[in-house]
Structure 1
Amino acid sequence: MGRNAIFILLLWAGVARAEVPSLFQQAALVAGGSTQASNGTSASLFAGRAAGSLFASPEPNTRAHPRVGISGPVAHLLSLIAKAEAGRAGYDAVQAGAQVKPTQIPTRMTLGQIHEWIQATPGQPHAIGRYQFIPTTLRRVARERGFGPDTVFSPTVQDAMAVSLLEEAGFRAFKAGTLDRHKFMRNLARIWAGLPLPNGKSYYHGYAGNRATLTWSRFETEMQRIWPNAG
């Protein structure tokens, strides 16, 4: 086993406890913006397998492709984000600026293998998957969800982690009517570079080649279509 693999296993086991900056924190470093997002509530959309939970959380640390039911408006929103971020490549997307791609398609890789690829190819973008997770976000959200290095980067796992980011953007507050639509949209744009701000540009415009891939008008139209009665 190489030194990189050993380090990754130790990190996932909790030996290395260094705090990884959140995507919102990175946004502040890149663009000088706020580091705060309105979460609305600390309750998770993935509430485990107990009866009555909104989604059933996939089991962590498994090489199987667990299934999780995401439907309705949340599924539509995730599809909109995925279209802006990954296009036709979907769950197997790798950032175009990565000169050295993984040797396997992402959905066949474990999280440990993805981190080995990241560490072995410094100096290039590493956004990966349907929602273009950057390394810091991938590590942080996987840790929060309890996904270990042997977890396959399956569509279900990617969806689960994307829903975590919806929560960070204030999804529950938006649904409860305590966060207005435009604020929620701006929060989403701080997470996903393909989404626009009201000025039409990505929050990360020009950084690592990022740009908004749809207009603010289109973004607003789609959000109104998904949640016609939300403020």
Structure 2
Amino acid sequence: MLRRIWVLWIAVLLWPLGLWADPLSLLRPSGQGWDLERQPLVISLPQPLVGKAPVAGSAFGPSLFAGRAEGSFFEPLPPRPEARVRIRGMARVPVDIALVRAMIGRAESPRDGYDAVQHGAKRKPRKKPTQMSLGEIFAWIDATPGQPHAIGFYQFIPSTLARLVTELDLGPEVIFTPAVQDDLANILLADAGIFELRAGQITRHQFMNNLAKIWAGLPTSSGKSHYHGYAGNKATVTWAEFDREMARAFPS
């Protein structure tokens, strides 16, 4: 019962985002930029990263702006249940996944690591993120509207954090430890196609471009962030550096 109340509370917390979402406008009713939560960030993607092409009439279109679906400006990444179950079931973290996560952290939170809070947040949490429970994090988000809330090593924004917490069935009492943050990020790595890369179904560069569609601090093969120019987003590492580190994990 308490878990259901927790999930409902998260949904209520994020519900206003759905009211504000408007693909034809870059402003919220307050006049603030809609993308306050966008620098740096983890986002829900507008289209599948790996697999079949978009179907005519599908909600997953080529545009970054996807309207009101799911209470977000972005369509959620189509779930990859088998990959998610597989990555959650790993007893040990393989070296390649550890290297990928380290690269993401270098791009998103090079200074504060797992205790990083988006620099634009004027009202920061009273405790370090790794000492906070998930309930405390969402309470901080709820109590400090109108500012960025990206948090942790992977700079989760509220909508993505809520989605991943629900996916892993984590309660409000769970502490936002490095291990928990890693588990949340693993779901996104599965969605980005890490197992397809391992199986040779996509190339390393395709996987890198997929990651860049999730984390704005990573560059695409163009050398720029996939979200370059949106709310000041830009890549924080070069493509050469990104490729060099990924080659350590996936040489071929």
Q: Which interval holds the TM-score relative to the shorter structure?
A: 0.7 to 0.9
In the alignment, which residue of structure 2 is the partner of 1:111? Answer: 134
Query: Deviation of residue 44 (structure 1)?
Result: 2.1
Equivalent residue for 2:191, pick from 168, 173, 190: 168
Structure 2 equivalent of residue 70 of structure 1: 93
Alignment of 1:81-100 (within 5 A): 81-100=104-123
Question: Is the Cα–Cα contact under 8 Å of residues 116 and 129 in structure 2 kept in the other structure?
Answer: yes
CA contact (8 A) 1:111 1:148 kept: yes
2:167 alignment counterpart: 144
> Of 85, 99, 107, which aligns to 1:44?
85
Shift of 1:204: 2.1
Distance verdict in 2 for CA 1:40–1:119, change over 3 Å:
closer
Deviation at 1:154, TM superposition (A): 0.4
Q: How much does 1:14 deviate?
A: 7.8
2:44 counterpart (5, 20, 23): 23
Structure 1 residue matching 2:155: 3-state secondary structure: coil
Q: CA RMSD in A?
A: 3.1
Separation (CA, whole Å) in 2 of partners of 1:104 and 1:36: 31
1:101–1:16 distance in 2 versus 1, CA, 3 Å: closer
Cα distance in 2 for residues equivalent to 1:97 and 1:16: 25
1:155–1:102 distance in 2 versus 1, CA, 3 Å: same
Aligned: 1:197 with 2:197: no
1:26-64 Cα distance to aligned partner (Å, 9 max, x none): 98228x9997679594452344xxxxx423xxxxxxxxx
Taking the aligned partners of 2:85 and 2:206, their CA distance within structure 1 comes to 20
CA-CA distance at 1:170 after TM superposition: 0.8
Alignment partner, residue 51 of structure 2: none
Structure 1 partner of 2:181: 158
> Cα distance 1:84–1:43, how it changes in 2: closer, same or farther (>3 A)?
closer
What is the aligned partner in structure 1 of residue 241 from structure 2? Answer: 218
- Provide the C-alpha distance between the structure 1 equivalents of 2:103 and 2:215, rounded to a whole number of angstroms: 11
- 2:197 maps to a residue whose letter is F
Measured at CA, do residues 40 and 199 of structure 1 come closer, stay the same or move farther in structure 2, by a change above 3 Å? farther
Map of 2:37 onto structure 1: none
Q: 1:54 aligns with which of 74, 87, 90?
A: 90
Residue identity opposite 1:28 in structure 2: L
- Name the CA distance, whole Å, in 2 between partners of 1:13 and 1:99: 28
Distance of aligned partners of 1:35 and 1:23 in 2 relative to their CA distance in 1, 3 Å threshold? closer
Q: Is the 8 A contact 1:37 1:187 kept in 2?
A: no
Unaligned runs of 5+ in 1: 1-7, 48-52, 56-68
Aligned partners of 1:44 and 1:167 also within 8 Å: no
Aligned to 2:53: none
Instruction: Give the superposition deviation at 1:205.
Output: 2.1
How many residue pairs end up in the alignment?
A: 203
How far apart, in 2, do the equivalents of 1:15 and 1:99 lie? 23
Shift of 1:25: 3.5
The residue type paired with residue 192 of structure 1 is W
Q: Hey, what does 1:10 align to over in structure 2?
A: 5
Identity %: 44
Asked if the contact 1:41–1:173 (Cα under 8 Å) also holds between the matched residues in 2, the reply is: no
Q: Which residue of 1 aligns with 2:55?
A: none
CA shift at 1:152, angstroms? 0.5
Q: Aligned partners of 1:25, 1:94: CA distance in 2, in Å?
A: 25
Compute the displacement of 1:70 (Å): 2.5
Aligned 8 A contact 1:129 1:158 in 2 = yes
The residue number in structure 2 matching 1:65 is none
